[in-house]
Amino acid sequence: MQSPHILIVEDELVTRNTLRSIFEAEGYHVHEANNGDEMNRLLKQEPISLIIMDINLPGKNGLLLAREVREKDDIALIFLTGRDNEVDKILGLEIGADDYITKPFNPRELTIRARNLLSRIKSANSEEKPVNVVERYKFSGWVLDVNSRSLVSPTQAQFKLPRSEFRAMIEFLENPGKILTRSDLLMKMTGRELKPHDRTVDVTIRRIRKHFESHPGSSEIIATIHGEGYRFCSEHETE
């Protein structure tokens, strides 16, 4: 079995060398980029499974680069950065990062998070589709296209959903009218258990709502149930 390829996007040489040593010791193929141009070149040349990226980079910063990556692909992405303020973390998750780890970091924790993330993605991608697979969910004039992982508005605007948003929407559509706790949603979205102060679910729901808010009358499709979680408030049909 081929080992996953990891791309480290980091301008500090010492940190890059440290990360290379850590992941090569775990059996991964490791590639390095100092900036966005080098990152994009390697993404075209190598079968990258996971990007580990700093935010403070020369030229375009990591947040801008991550947004560009998300517009084109669904590669696993972890921010590893010295910027530990809440705003940066929320922005990183809003862009679609799968995880956010601050420096200084515990090498063991980093490798465990990376391994678990890759394992979850592999498991999700290799799941066999049921015989009567659902291709589309239709609700309130909207369509969730399962094959393209896209949300299509009543005016045919198309929004490509990152992994976490897509999994959250599937969970909502499979449980219409049911209150889903943040813990339930996070487990479905990432396979992780909810920890205190974890904003991943709230940030993901905020991103989904921005799509709905682009069309009048769609803002109440996902309701917040204070102190409990969220509820999908639209009837739907499947194809």
Rounded (to 5) percent helix, strand, coil in the chain:
40, 20, 35
CATH number belonging to domain 5-126: 3.40.50.2300
Burial class (CB in 10 A: 0-12, 13-18, 19+), 11: middle
Order across the sheet with 29-33: list the strands: 29-33, 5-9, 48-53, 76-81, 99-102
Instruction: Report the pLDDT averaged over residues 181-205.
Output: 86
| Structure tokens that stand for 205 in this block | 């729901």
pLDDT value at 130 more than 60: no
The two beta strands, 48-53 and 5-9, are parallel
Tell me if 142 sits within 8 A of 54, measured CB to CB.
no
Tell me if 149 sits within 8 A of 166, measured CB to CB.
yes
Nearest alpha-carbon partner for 178 in 239, 217, 234, 227: 234
Residue with tokens 């102190």: 227
| Percentage of residues of the chain with pLDDT beyond 70 | 96
Tell me if 59 sits within 8 A of 16, measured CB to CB.
no
pTM over 0.95: no
**Confidence (pLDDT) at 119:** 87
CATH number belonging to domain 136-238: 1.10.10.10
Phi, psi of 138, deg, nearest 5: -115, 130
Residue 65 to residue 60: CA distance in whole angstroms? 6
The domain locations on the chain are 5-126, 136-238
Residue with tokens 């813990």: 183
Residue 23 to residue 8: CA distance in whole angstroms? 10
Instruction: Report the pLDDT averaged over residues 75-92.
Output: 88
Q: How many CB atoms lie within 10 A of CB 31?
A: 19
pLDDT value at 126 more than 70: no
Q: Give per-residue pLDDT as tens, 16-59.
A: 999 999 999 999 999 999 999 999 999 999 999 999 999 999 99
Residue predicted with more confidence, 83 or 128? 83
CA-CA distances (angstroms) from residue 52 to 24, 101, 211?
Answer: 14, 10, 27
